[in-house]
Amino acid sequence: MAYFIIETEEQLSQLPKPETCFIELMSMSEHTHPFLTAPCVLYYNDFQKGYIIPINHSEAFSLSIDKIQEFLKDIPKIYLLDKKWHSYYLNLPNSIDLYFTVLDIEGKIQDFQCYTPVHLDFYEKFKYSTQVNTFIPISKHYERCECMFETVKNYVGKEKNVKWYNKYTEVYKWVEEQGILVDEKLFNKYFETPWKGRSMRDNRVYSSYNLYNITSRPTNSFNSINFLSLTKKIIQEQPLYQKMTLL
């Protein structure tokens, strides 16, 4: 399987800059909240060819995320899946979230993740690793992203209400990245998480809002914690909420 890796600024500068492109950024650990991890690789497709740009991966030299953003900023339309998630690493006002397009057309969200057997195997074996995607071969990341592109490319150009969706995404991303300051002892009394490192640091817990609902009402859940469905008992019992502060 032939694929291209862009490892230097010179190679990056030689990439074509079309009117539209598709990107998929993968973090070092997809099971960790994006505020608490770092980018690993970026897939870039100009609708002629797909490329992998390493950012933090042991198999290749790395380009900085700032250089990648500088390259992308002049492309008029950048299509991706989950703009809120990508915005933790890239500030791209010209990007369009295809999940909203799919939701408008299909009335539901489909699974476009295209995980290869290698991804699934590594995610199971290294479920508590904060760098699992750096262990997976770049060729497998490329294979996965090529599949994602092929699956969603027919939705390109069918988007509506882009400005409204962009503002919607921006607001909920701002809420998420503030985190919630908690008293850890009280937090542990009421919540169990598979692994705290996925969503908690310095007595601050981070959650995630799912914006892709046909009712336009976001849901909230990350690392087995859902703050939108706290029980009445938790709310009434003493100082958990008194100790929790949204900043």
Q: Select the highest-mean-pLDDT range: 30-34, 118-122, 233-237.
A: 118-122
pTM summary value: 0.89
For the ranges 7-11, 120-124, 242-246, the lowest mean pLDDT is seen at 242-246
Which of helix, strand or coil describes residue 204? strand
As its CATH architecture, domain 4-162 has 2-Layer Sandwich (3.30)
Mean pLDDT to the nearest integer, 47-65: 94
> In which band, very low, low, confident or very high, does the pLDDT at 220 lie, cut at 50, 70 and 90?
confident
Instruction: Please state the length of the chain.
Output: 247
Question: Residue ranges per domain, the chain?
Answer: 4-162, 179-246
Question: Considering only CA atoms, which of 228, 225, 230 is closest in space to residue 194?
Answer: 225
Rounded Cα distance between 94 and 154, Å, is 19
End-to-end CA distance of the chain: 48
Provide mean pLDDT across the span 8-25: 94
User: Which of 247, 99, 75, 89 shows the shortest CA–CA distance to 168?
Assistant: 99
- Residues β-bridged to residue 80: 97
